[in-house]
Structure 1
């Protein structure tokens, strides 16, 4: 993380200037935060030592269908859960949230702990969350539409068209889903594990959220589903196994398009390489 004076940070990112009315005295300093792929966030430390995270709204967040206002609404609705950072301030330039002090679980999180946190999120009351349900087809269509024509090669087109529709499954209801739950987005604190980076969160089929985390953690799908259902005291396990297996290729295709779009936006070859690797799994 690069630490710099507030004035230097504002020169690098003009969205920080929108916080001038929030802080009565200019902050002591700001630090760039590493780790976030979608956007570049800032740790902001005020003159009294309080720390925050500034999550800007940019063309990048817009390209990935991320709404800081939706993120703010979700964090506001679940702030009493002790699972997330508290939202502090929102404007059209971005979102300010509290800094979560603790130890990153990026390298030390076991899958059982992840499932316990996921179940806690999925058990939250969604009636207080004023956001529209997640639309899988609309999301992947949006990613595809934004891609340059030279990236829309036939192999990518075929995979996208083959898996762009949500599966027809037994209804298990919708829950709040984080959609990027892994150790790199969890922090061990004195109050327990907290989850950060809620920018992709939405109301959706919890089996899709489970599928995404199984993939990231490289866990056994069957074992993960059975353990998850045990924790939530769900008896109809077959509907969950079927759901996870049906969502897997669709979630993988969505990730492929995400990496293609990331490559287009940043020009970093690692994203194209990742998209090609995913494409190869479909071709094989």
Structure 2
């Protein structure tokens, strides 16, 4: 066994879906699974035991033990050959899971926790963890499509290279095709030198599209040799990256993106495309931080 996959649980339906996905990830990786619950109440000096007037099985501590037992049972049902451990850690969820991410291969969370506000599509813990985690973060809203491809959002940035590596490895583990999708517009495409010097910025039709196809091929270079069993479809789309990736998520079992792309503003820890996918994708989303991005 090498490494560990960490899954955060709080009893919400999406956290149980996260447990199932985390168990599958641990099995594919030959890793252990660590089920973690961030228990905030002890730090607030709230009584943990049952009320003197209530049943013996009541109280916050018993509730947490039942929650953990349910999550562990779910994991063992999905992946009975995976070594499953569990921990109840005092602290608030983002702090606890960020600390757990330092030693994990992957952290998996549900899209919304028990504390989520009605109407929100995704909880603040998932968004903040994707921005601050020290390893890739997988956010699960519901059970993924069993037969869909892995979809990779490619922008050609240096920060996105780790996302490319992660997506190829995921496609290989799952034994499914990889759709590498690059969306571009005339506003985010790199400016090309004009071929007609008499007309500033003028280029024949199709030049920008060809350059964007080349950018996509270069971003994937070398990975096919390392993962010869992965069937890759390279797809360039003229349009917004958010819209294209959300649409692709409808038939995917996983979407992989970097935390920030080439259009990211300095100081932002999570780019607008990543945030949009966390809120609106129709399948689990993995956010992979690039080399040198501060946590």
Q: For the superposition of Structure 1 and Structure 2, which TM-score range results when normalised by the shorter chain?
A: under 0.3
Greater relative CO, 1 or 2 (CA 8 Å, sep 6+): 2
TM-score (normalised: structure 1): 0.25
Larger C-alpha radius of gyration, 1 or 2? 2
